[in-house]
């Protein structure tokens, strides 16, 4: 039984990791850490775990020592130093934050205000989007789990970008996310009175997932991909809907594009390309590790529109982290993630 630890186990991502890993047949949660709740039981923070998981929050060092693989569910900037020490102890590390999502240090510094503290570690790490980097993930000791918005937009665009079917500039990603995407710490925008019965854009053309998406897609096609990314907050707990507007290089036949998507994702269990005429909806992926993609063509304006939906806490975060864990450990990718979406 593989021993798995979670550093930052009491935030939304950490708690979701605990919930999902509790249904995994090949790993055991060896420990969780929390600075704020050290010494307290997980069930005293989340009553849903009462008499199911009574783990006591301990120090980061204790979790590292007793674990074979470690999830780091921490704010950006806090994982690098921990991973540097963990790798020296031959631990596998999956960073749920942004510290290992970038290969370009200048981009990371511009958007996160920090430097790489160990360049060798970043050379060893891999961007953990399974549908793109599965073989590299399989051999890596450090995996940077993608951002939730980034996952949704990248999965929407990968078949088009890799097939050189659209213009690489002028892409627009109009995305909506539930409140959990803001994390557990309360902010002005996540106050009930500010988000209930409301729908608002935030960090307009200034969101940190923009450079992550651009770098990932640019690396795929070896051209400079640019997009306008606008996130919105909607008053639901979880879920992301991304409507992505692209310009085809040539006049297209939607049926042929649909076939290309089906071919591209034919071996991807967690990505479902919906039949033409269907529209992706958050409700159809909620509480699952699935991503639904639907395709639409505005012939009058030559715009190919892709709608991508996923649960931001699962395929957009904890579930994808576990999918990466399954890959690196040689398990079935479905292990612990086979739950079907909620039907209502």
Q: Which residues are catalytic?
A: 148
- Hey, what are 314's tokens? 């699962």
Strand-pairing partners, residue 231, are 175
d(CA 146, CA 137): 13
d(CA 53, CA 48): 9
Distance of CA 200 to the CA centre of its chain: 22
Please give the C-alpha separations between residue 117 and each of 36, 85, 244, in angstroms, as whole numbers.
25, 12, 35
Nearest partner of 185 among 74, 110, 107, 82, judged by Cα = 74
- Hey, what are 217's tokens? 């897609």
* Exposure letters 72-84 (e unless 16+ CB within 10 A, then b): bbbebebbbebbe
d(CA 232, CA 176): 5
């Amino acid at each position: 039984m593989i021993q798995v630890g979670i550093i930052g186990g009491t935030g939304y991502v950490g708690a979701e990791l605990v919930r999902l890993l509790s249904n995994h047949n090949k790993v055991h949660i060896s420990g969780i850490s929390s600075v704020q709740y050290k010494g307290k039981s997980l069930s005293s923070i989340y009553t849903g775990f009462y008499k199911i998981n009574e783990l006591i929050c301990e120090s980061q060092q204790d979790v590292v020592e007793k674990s074979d693989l470690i999830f780091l569910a921490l704010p950006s900037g806090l994982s690098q130093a921990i991973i540097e020490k963990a790798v020296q102890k031959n631990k596998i590390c999956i960073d749920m934050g942004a510290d290992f999502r970038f290969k370009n240090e200048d981009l990371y510094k511009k958007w996160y205000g920090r430097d790489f503290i160990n360049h060798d570690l970043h050379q060893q790490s891999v961007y953990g989007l399974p549908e793109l980097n599965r073989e590299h993930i399989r051999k890596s000791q450090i995996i940077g789990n993608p951002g939730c918005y980034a996952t949704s937009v990248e999965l929407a665009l990968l078949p088009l970008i890799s097939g050189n079917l659209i213009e690489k500039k002028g892409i627009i990603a109009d995305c909506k996310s539930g409140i959990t995407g803001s994390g557990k710490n309360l902010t002005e925008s996540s106050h009930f009175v500010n988000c209930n019965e409301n729908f608002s854009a935030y960090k307009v053309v200034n969101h940190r997932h923009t450079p992550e998406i651009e770098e990932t897609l640019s690396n795929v096609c070896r051209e400079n991909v640019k997009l306008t990314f606008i996130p919105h907050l909607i008053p639901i707990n979880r879920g992301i809907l991304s409507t992505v507007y692209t310009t085809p290089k040539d006049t297209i036949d939607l049926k042929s594009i649909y076939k290309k998507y089906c071919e591209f994702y034919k071996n991807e269990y967690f990505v479902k390309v919906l039949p033409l005429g269907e529209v992706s909806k958050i409700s159809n992926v909620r509480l699952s590790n699935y991503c639904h993609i639907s395709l639409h063509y505005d012939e009058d304006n030559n715009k190919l529109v892709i709608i991508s939906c996923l649960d931001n806490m699962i395929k957009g975060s904890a579930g994808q982290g576990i999918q990466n864990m399954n890959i690196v450990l040689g398990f079935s990718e479905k292990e612990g993630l086979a739950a079907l979406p909620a039907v209502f």
